[in-house]
Amino acid sequence: MRKEVVLITGANGEIGHGLCTHLGIREDVLILALDIEELDEELIPYCHRFVQGDILDKMLLGRLVAEFEIRTIYHLASILSTRAEYNPEAAHRVNVEGTLNLLRLAIEQAEWQGRPVKFIYPSSIAAYGLPDLETKNRAGKVKEHEWLTPKTMYGCNKLYCEHLGRYYARHYRQLGAEGAAIKIDFRGLRFPGLISAFTTPAGGTSDYGPEMLHHAAQNIPYACFVRPDSILPFMVMPDTIKALVDLWAAPQENLDNLVYNVTSFSITAQQIAQMVKEAFPEAEISFEPDMRRQKIVDSWPGDLNDDAAKEDWDWSPDYDAMRAFEAYLVPNISERYQK
């Protein structure tokens, strides 16, 4: 008998940590974790099985199909926006071909199980691309169908993979001899910048938010790479996990979209610095904008319209900026670095 598991790719990453620790304590969930790096020791107790390997390795994915009954895939593995700009073609391979391999795996599993496999996909504010700062400031809360002209390789990859998800969910092999009776249940979220108290992101462009805080808590000076007035939507890890799990649980007939915006609070870099300094008065934060990374931030929406998520699956974040800092970030980060 194959074991019924939830596959989490990129298990070691920022969202992976949050999701493994959240789902891993549930009696009814067995996690099959996949990551290119060795699994962090602290995640081992939460995972039923860990496989170290590359999402581009089709043989490896084939072995997983043969060995496990995969009911849900959280496909988190990805190369983030800043890192992707240093090697765009390599990022495309991981972000697009890797996702295609996972979609293919989902289809194989669905056909074999005779029922759709749930495919939960984190997309991003990077899927948007506003032409300039003036337009960004005028645009307000951006809706799902607006400004879909990304300026980064990562944003292009995310947007295209949303399209692939729709294709595999609704149109896969539409002219094939038997068609594809069973498709996949694709559900995507466009996340804002994310902040965790327990991990720092690697290679993103919204990283100045979490970096400011984690540096301050360790007493390390930080030079923020965007202007103080730069504004982005952000969300803390507990709300990120809530969004993933709530979207997973929503009845499919309620979902009019395949991809939903979600957000918690919009905040400027200056406001983050102020809140960090209130918590860590010794913090040394300066602003040394890198105009190239600044341009990327200026092309991302300052706020997201998440009404569709609210209407279709009752999305509502638990943390505004104040509560995020006071009840989640500051206590957990302080404890973490005191150890």
Contacts with ligand SER, residue ranges (CB under 6 A): 80-81, 124-126, 154, 191, 193, 204-206
CB of 44 to ligand SER, least distance (A): 26
106: left (phi > 0), else alpha (psi -120 to 50), else beta? alpha
Query: 98: helix, coil or strand?
Result: helix
CB of 252 to ligand SER, least distance (A): 26
CB of 271 to ligand SER, least distance (A): 18
> Sheet holding 259-261: strands in order across?
49-52, 31-35, 3-9, 68-75, 118-124, 185-191, 259-261
CB of 154 to ligand SER, least distance (A): 6
Of 70 and 309, nearer to ligand SER (C-beta) is 309
Query: Which residue's Cβ lies closest to ligand SER?
Result: 204
Q: Is 327 exposed, middle or buried (0-12, 13-18, 19+ CB in 10 A)?
A: middle
CB of 82 to ligand SER, least distance (A): 6
Of 147 and 154, nearer to ligand SER (C-beta) is 154
CB of 211 to ligand SER, least distance (A): 11
Of 5 and 161, nearer to ligand SER (C-beta) is 161
Torsion of CA 329, 332, 333, 338, to 10 degrees: 160
Of 109 and 124, nearer to ligand SER (C-beta) is 124
Of 80 and 279, nearer to ligand SER (C-beta) is 80
Task: Output the CA–CA distances (angstroms, integers) from residue 265 to 14, 173, 202, 207, 225, in the order listed.
Answer: 19, 41, 22, 16, 21
Of 146 and 335, nearer to ligand SER (C-beta) is 146
CB 154 within 8 A of CB 138: no
Residues 6+ apart with CB under 8 A from 329: 195, 197, 213, 236, 279
CB of 40 to ligand SER, least distance (A): 20
CB of 124 to ligand SER, least distance (A): 3
In terms of DSSP bridges, do strands 231-236 and 193-195 run parallel, antiparallel, or are they unpaired?
Answer: parallel
Of 71 and 227, nearer to ligand SER (C-beta) is 227
Separation CA 223–CA 13 (nearest Å): 24
Of 7 and 125, nearer to ligand SER (C-beta) is 125
Vertex 55: Cα angle to 51 and 60 (nearest 5): 55
